[in-house]
Amino acid sequence: MHMPGIATRPDRGRSLLGPALSLIHAGRAPTRSALTAALGVTRATAGAVAAELQALGLIGVDTAPGGAAGALGRPSHRLMIDPDGPVALAAQIHPDGFQVALVGLGGQIAAQLSAELGGAPGAPERALAPVAEAGARLLRSSGRACVAAGLAVPSAVAEPEGTAVSPLYVDWPTGTPIRDIFARQVARAGITGPGGAALRCWAANDINAAALAEHRHGAGRDAGHLLVIATGHRGVGGALVVGGALYTGSTGLGMEAGHVSVDPAGRPCRCGSRGCLDVETDALSFMDAAGRVPSPGTAVLAQAIAILRGEYAADPAVRAAAASLTERLGLGLAGLINVLNPDRILLGGLHRYLLEADPARLGAAVAKRSPWGRGAAVPLLPCALDDGGLIGAAELAWQPVLEDPAILVSSTAPAGSRARS
């Protein structure tokens, strides 16, 4: 028995839009029947919700997928992200430059560009101006509306202020109000949000952003307690996604996993301690252990990955360096497993390729150091997304729309508002 009109009742109908869009966004409701089952509503209600999302310009509904119906009857209506729908502007800053992308629902990158500066990106205002200008160019050429913007930075970001607390590798002052600076540069570049309003901007740590993206669109799907450890262009970061939400601590500064010490007599770290994962298992420490000197002009991370992947079989010094970093990484992971009890661990950046090079060694290093050997039972997997930081920055920007797609009503009301000039 269906209940006609239920989705158009303002309370119930609006409250189903967010859950429905979140399911479609995460690839969990590719058809109307899947949406019906996932929402636990009637087919008519699911159809009405899908029609509202379509009217908002967010999804397309194919009512005759696969053409003529076969002997098995009519296939369910197919639900897909509208390829001309709005996008989030995503940006990621790293010590060698920046990346900018337009990211649609479903974590789909519609357009992307990167600039390698070959050096520190400079003062935050000066570093973010070209980022915003590049975003404005991408938006103009795409003709798509922008819902909000997200910025991923190689620093812990304190909330609710949106300040970068530890931008060690981009040489910005501690406490830089990164979210507000980004918002100013976005406004200066002429980018506006739904209905011509000021574009809402978000900022987050780059590994946190990548972890959120992996949970929704990558190798972290369905993990209840997902731990992600990854190298950035410099240093190492960590993130924890619990029940689908980032664990960020009380003020945004939780999960500084890169500053877990794995060698009390190790290298001095910029945080003031010694032997942190950040300086003992990053790209530069790998180059050092392998006896290689980074060439200027190319990101050290890219060089380290190329050497690890390309010369592991032929060069014993590369194998020894990988083994040494793997042991230290295993020690750090064991400590984190002990504290966090994750059900899955994803490794990104250089760590992804340390795992690829010798998974048995890393597994053994974790098992040896984790309590009662329980760490051996936690799956260690590579990150699946090449642009997780960007996609995750876009997730932050999309989040208010995922929670209530009707906030876009004002932007879709006037005719032609989706076309930008």
Helix (H, G, I), strand (E, B) or coil at 261: strand
Instruction: For Zn ion, give the closer residue by CB, 22 or 205.
Output: 205
236 is a contact residue toward Zn ion (CB under 5 A):
no
Candidates 50-58, 184-192, 255-263, 391-399: pick the segment binding Zn ion (CB under 5 A): 255-263
- The helix/strand/coil state of 344 is strand
CA atoms within 13 A on the CB side of 57: 23
Q: Which is nearer to Zn ion, 138 or 269 (CB)?
A: 269
Distances (CA, A) of 141 to 68, 113, 129: 37, 13, 19
Q: 160: cis peptide before it, omega within 30°? A: yes
Binder among 120, 242, 271, 302 for Zn ion (CB under 5 A): 271
Report in angstroms how near the CB of residue 348 gets to Zn ion at its nearest. Answer: 19
278-307 residues in contact with Zn ion (CB under 5 A) are 278
Q: Does 276 interact with Zn ion (rule: CB under 5 A)?
A: yes
Q: Which is nearer to Zn ion, 263 or 404 (CB)?
A: 263
Stretch that binds Zn ion, among 22-30, 57-65, 86-94, 265-273 (CB under 5 A): 265-273
DSSP label at residue 341: -
For 274-312, letters b (16+ CB in 10 Å) and e give ebbbbbbbbbbbbbbbbebebeeeebbbebbbebbeeeb
Q: Which is nearer to Zn ion, 76 or 205 (CB)?
A: 205
Nearer to Zn ion (CB atom), residue 52 or residue 278: 278
Nearer CB in complex with Zn ion: 207/276: 276
Which ranges in 218-315 belong to alpha helices (H)? 277-280, 283-289, 300-311
Cβ proximity to Zn ion, 44 vs 271, nearer residue: 271
Among 179, 200, 234, 259, binds Zn ion (CB under 5 A): 259
Does residue 266 belong to the site contacting Zn ion (CB under 5 A)? no
- The amino acid at 378: V
- C-beta of 142 vs 273, nearer to Zn ion: 273
Q: How far apart are CA 411 and CA 60, in angstroms?
A: 18
Which residues does 105 contact at the CB level (< 8 Å), separation at least 6? Answer: 21, 24, 25, 58, 59, 81, 82, 85, 398
Q: Count CB-CB contacts under 10 A for residue 13.
A: 17
User: Residues binding Zn ion: what is the number (CB under 5 A)?
Assistant: 6
**Contact region with Zn ion (CB under 5 A), list: 82-90, 166-174, 257-265, 309-317:** 257-265
- Quote the least distance from Cβ 121 to Zn ion, whole Å: 22
Closer residue to Zn ion, CB minimum distance, 48 or 269: 269
Q: How far is the CB of 294 from Zn ion (least distance, A)?
A: 21
Give the separation between CA 59 and CA 31, rounded to whole angstroms: 12
Of 239-247, 253-261, 293-301, 374-382: span binding Zn ion (CB under 5 A): 253-261
Contact set for Zn ion, span 324-343 (CB under 5 A): none
How far apart are alpha carbons 189 and 54 in whole angstroms? 30
Q: Which of residues 141-200 bind Zn ion (CB under 5 A)?
A: none
Closest CA to 350 of 253, 258, 236, 209: 236
Out of 132, 158, 201, 269, point to the residue binding Zn ion (CB under 5 A): 269
Q: How far is CA 405 from CA 200, 289, 301, 408, in A?
A: 15, 51, 38, 6
Residues in contact with Zn ion by the rule CB under 5 A:
259, 269, 271, 273, 276, 278
